[in-house]
Structure 1
Amino acid sequence: MAAQTHLIDLPLFPLGTVLYPGGQLPLRIFEPRYLDMVRECARTGSPFGVCLILQGHEVGEPAMPAAVGTLARITDFHNREDGLLGILAEGGQRFRVARTRVRSDGLVRGEVDLWADESAHMVPVEFALLQSILERLIETMAPHWRSAPRHLYDDASWLGFRLAELLPLHDDERQRMLELTDPVRRLGELRDILPRFQKA
C-alpha cells in the first residue's frame, strides 16, 4: 500500500470499536479532552483519528491505540436527551501511526502516514453470497444503508468494510479487516469466518 511521504499530526480517539472507510460512527462526548477536540475539529474542519484500543479504556487514563486507524470527519452534532453532546463521524482514509504523544489534558495526538484509498475491484462471482448476506444485515441492523445504491454492492472494498462492521467479529478480526489492503482477500477471509456464525 503506497503511503504519502509526509506525516500529518492529528488528535487520536482510542475506542473499543473499529471505524472503516465510509462507515458511520455515532459518539457520545463528555470528557473535557474530547469536547475540546470536537470544538477544534469543528472550527478548523479537520479530522481526528479513530484507533481500536489495545490496552486501557475509553474513559480515564490515556489508552494504547492500535497502530492502524481511520480518519473521522464530523458530519453532524446533536444534543442528546441525557444532556451530553452527540456527534456523527464518517470514516475516511486509513493511516498508520508513526509516533504518539499525550498532552497534559490526556488527549493523545499522533503523527500518522495516510494510506492511499484501495483501488476499485468488482466483487468476484464466488462472493455473491456475501452480497445477499449484507443485504439481510442492513435490513435488520443498519437502516442508514438501506438506500445505498446497488452498484456499491459490486464494490469489493465497500462490501467487505460493511460486512466487517455488521458481522459479530472479535476485535482482533475487525482490526485485521481494517489492516488488509487487498479487498478481495478481505472478502475471502470474511467468507471463511461465516460458518462460525451459522453454527451459533
Structure 2
Amino acid sequence: MNTTLPLFPLHTVLFPGGLLPLQIFEVRYLDLMKRCAQSGEPFGVVCLQSGHEIRQAPRTGEAEGGRLETLASVGTLATLERIEHPQPGLMLVQARGGPRFTLHSSHVLAHGLWTGTMEVLPGDLPAAVPSELAPLRSRLQAALAAMAGQAGAPPLPAALDDPRWQDAGWLSNRWAECLPLPVAERQRLMSLDNPLWRLELVAEWLDRLERLNQN
C-alpha cells in the first residue's frame, strides 16, 4: 500500500534501527519536526544523490525550483525520539530509523518541503550470523568500546547480551553505519533485501580497508 509522507533529503544514509542526530534551523524542517512531535508520525529520510541539503536561492536568471535535487529510490522511515530547543530557531533532534521504503514519486511544496509517495518495504527476515562471520560481532563490540569517550563516538547500540547481536541484518546495519564507506556504497548496502548478503559485503569491505591500512 502506498502512502504519502514528508521527506528529509540528506547526504547520508539512515539504516533501520540506527540513530540520526540532526540540527534543525530551516523553517521548513522546524515546522516538520513540530508536526511529527505532535502527531507521532514518521518522516522519510532519503539519500541526496545530487543537490544541496540546505535550500539555495536561485542564481541570476534561474527560475525558482530550477535546481532540484536528485533523491535515491530507497529510503528509511524515521521517528523522533528526542527534541531539544537550545535557542530560538534551532532544534537538536534525535530520530530512530524504522522500516525502509521504495520512493515512487516526489515533489517539492511551495515552501520547499519535499513530500513523497512511497511503499513501505518488509523488514529483514531473521537470519542467524553464519559461523564464519561470527567474529564480526566481537570485532564491532571492540571497535565501539575503543571509540567510547571520543567526541562524536557512536554509543554501543545494544547491551552485549542482547540477542540482536546474533542477527545478520541488525549486525550488518550497525557495521555499515560505522565503516568509512562512500555514501553510494552505504546506500547500496541499505537497499539490499538479503541480510546475509549485506553482512558478507560488510566483511569484504572490512578486509579491503584493513589491507589499505597495512600498505
TM-score, normalised via structure 1 length: 0.92
Corresponding residue of 2:106: 100
Q: Which amino acid aligns with 2:189?
A: M
1:84 aligns with 2:90: yes
Moved more, 136-145 or 183-192: 136-145
- Using the alignment, how far apart are the partners of 2:22 and 2:141 within structure 1? 25
- Using the alignment, how far apart are the partners of 2:92 and 2:29 within structure 1? 12
Identify if the C-alpha distance between structure 1 residues 106 and 127 changes in structure 2 by more than 3 Å, giving closer, same or farther: same
Corresponding residue of 1:195: 207
Matched position secondary structure for 1:178: helix
Counterparts in 2 of 1:6-21, with a 5 A limit?
6-21=1-16
CA distances 1:9-49 after superposition (whole Å, capped 9, x unpaired)? 10000011110101010100000010111111112111000
- Using the alignment, how far apart are the partners of 1:83 and 1:41 within structure 2? 17
Residue 45 (structure 1) aligned to one of 35, 40, 44: 40
- Using the alignment, how far apart are the partners of 2:37 and 2:155 within structure 1? 27
Corresponding residue of 1:122: 128
- Number of positions where the alignment pairs a residue of Structure 1 with one of Structure 2: 195
1:135 aligns with 2:130: no
Identify if the C-alpha distance between structure 1 residues 51 and 116 changes in structure 2 by more than 3 Å, giving closer, same or farther: same
CA distances 1:38-68 after superposition (whole Å, capped 9, x unpaired)? 1111121110000111011111145322110
Tell me the percent identity: 39
Deviation at 1:129, TM superposition (A): 2.1
Matched position secondary structure for 1:21: coil
Moved more, 61-70 or 75-84: 75-84
Q: Which amino acid aligns with 1:102?
A: V
TM-score, normalised via structure 2 length: 0.86
1:69 aligns with 2:81: no
1:179 aligns with 2:191: yes
1:110 aligns with 2:116: yes
Matched position secondary structure for 1:90: strand
Q: Unaligned 5+ residue runs, structure 1?
A: 1-5
Alignment RMSD: 1.6
